[in-house]
Amino acid sequence: MVKSDAQWLIDVFEPKRKQRIDHTTISMFVKAINIIMEQNRKVPTCGCEYKVTAQIANSLFDQHYNEIMSLYNESTRGRKKKS
């Protein structure tokens, strides 16, 4: 996971993760799983799998929250280049 992934998880995923789970939001949950677990899962084809997928994403987010926040708050090191 890199800083841009952590930024997406905090800025986009976290505010929406407790909302409705349907065909318009399931890709967000799959993306979160793929970022945290460094996998390449596909969006489930059956709506019956949406709830479980969302639960997995939320659980992974909670388990890795400290790691995500440390990346999110990480500042760049070194001096800035002059333009």
Map tokens 């789970």 to a residue.
21
Residue 83's pLDDT is 53
Residue 68's domain comprises 3-72
Considering the domain boundaries, does residue 82 fall inside one? no
Whole-number Å distance between alpha carbons of 3 and 67 = 10
27 CB-near residues (< 8 Å, 6+ apart): 43
Residue 1's pLDDT is 87
Summary mean pLDDT of the chain: 89
Per cent of the chain over pLDDT 70 is: 90
Instruction: Name the domain count of the chain.
Output: 1
Considering the domain boundaries, does residue 83 fall inside one? no
Residue 78 has pLDDT above 60, yes or no: no
Considering the domain boundaries, does residue 81 fall inside one? no
Per cent of the chain over pLDDT 90 is: 67
Considering the domain boundaries, does residue 77 fall inside one? no
Position with higher pLDDT, 75 vs 8: 8
pTM of the model: 0.84
